[in-house]
Structure 1
Amino acid sequence: MSEATAQEAEEIAMRQRAAGVLAGASTAELAECWNAWPNRPEVEYLRGPESGLVMVQGRIGGSGDRFNLGEATVVRATALVRGGGLATECVGTSYVLGSDPDHAGLAAVFQALLADPGQRDLVLQQVIEPLQSRQATVDAGSRAQARATTVNFFTVARENSGGVEEDDE
């Protein structure tokens, strides 16, 4: 793999990670980050935010044949940011599950800021990494709570297979 291709792959992975974090954040968290943003640029929405439906597909057994599971509401937005210390005008797009236009709009703004080389590190440090850390903490708590309620069916079967036999009469 050439150096340019490796850099492109790294850039794509970073943008995908950021898109996932922004989509998983709450509107209040994104608004808090935006309100604290130094030297905010001018924002113009090129598209939306607008709501629509997407068809959600599943797979039998996780890797088998696809089937249509149902529809989900999504909001998409495309934002152009300029000024505010940006080197150039930058465009960002977001797709967010649900029907909150503010969530999609703010996610698109931060995606646009990520496209500016001078703002990328600031967005990663002040927005993406803190949000990702909060999401990881919440996910860890949810996993711990789920593990605490797990039933070991082998243990239950062994406990119930002991010496007393029931009559079926």
Structure 2
Amino acid sequence: MTDITSSASPDTQPGAAVSARQKVIATLAAASAEAVAEKFSALPPQSYELVRQPETGLVMVRGRMGGTGSPFNLGEVTVTRCVVRLETGETGNAYSLGRNKQKALQSAVIDALWQRPAMQERIETDIIAPLAEAQAGTQETVREETEATKVNFFTMVRGDN
């Protein structure tokens, strides 16, 4: 019996497509509303229908003590979601923290456009890559600022033990 997944390239494996789309959706969700609006305005106008109009609700956030302990409910956060369908049939969805309905709508349209093979590369290079790069820069800045406040404690051993 032959294993067809081992001979397939990563781009043709179903899991690769899912993880690539997850990256697109996560990048759009983490981006600022202004950045998404700027990138969205550079796209040609699209005809779409609202499957689920932008709506705001609450989601319970869970945490773990020390990152590995038993989970506990940390609290609720506001989330806005939206689902659109392009006239060509692709369905895009988006979730974003906060109450910005326009960001959720624009992110859902971008997600739907990404699913078109003809638009996928353009969306990745013109929208997703710059947003991901900006997010990585912000994360690096926060990491450096946090590292600067780190205090290393140590115990000195007395010589007359």
For Structure 1 versus Structure 2, the TM-score category normalised by the shorter chain is 0.7 to 0.9
**Aligned-residue offset at 1:144:** 1.0
Q: Output the amino acid matched with 1:144.
A: E
Distance 1:68 1:138 in 2: 28
Aligned residue for 1:105?
105
Matches of residues 25-104 of structure 1 in structure 2 within 5 Å?
A: 25-37=31-43, 39-82=44-87, 88-104=88-104
Letter in 1 for 2:71: R
Secondary structure at the aligned position of 2:48 is classed as: strand
Name the structure 2 match of 1:165: none
CA RMSD, 1 decimal? 2.0
Q: Where does residue 140 of structure 1 map in the other structure?
A: 140
- Paired residue type of 2:144: A
Distance 1:89 1:111 in 2: 13
Separation in 1, partners of 2:149, 2:14? 43
Structure 1 gap segments, 5+ residues each: 83-87, 163-169
2:19 is aligned with 1:13: yes
Residue-pair matches, total: 152
- Counterpart CA distance in 2 for 1:138 and 1:66 is 28
Alignment of 1:113-124 (within 5 A): 113-124=113-124
Between the aligned partners of 1:91 and 1:112, the Cα distance in structure 2 is 5
How far did residue 153 of structure 1 move? 2.1
Partner of 1:128: 128
Q: Identity rate of aligned residues, in percent?
A: 36
| TM-score for both structures, normalised by structure 1 | 0.82
How far the C-alpha of 1:64 sits from its partner, in A, is 3.0
1:10 deviates by 0.7
User: How far off is 1:63 after superposition?
Assistant: 2.6
Gaps of 5+ in 2: none
The one-letter amino acid paired with 2:48 is V
- Residue 119 of structure 1 aligns to a residue whose secondary structure is helix
TM-superposed deviation, 1:29 = 0.6
TM (norm. structure 2) is 0.85
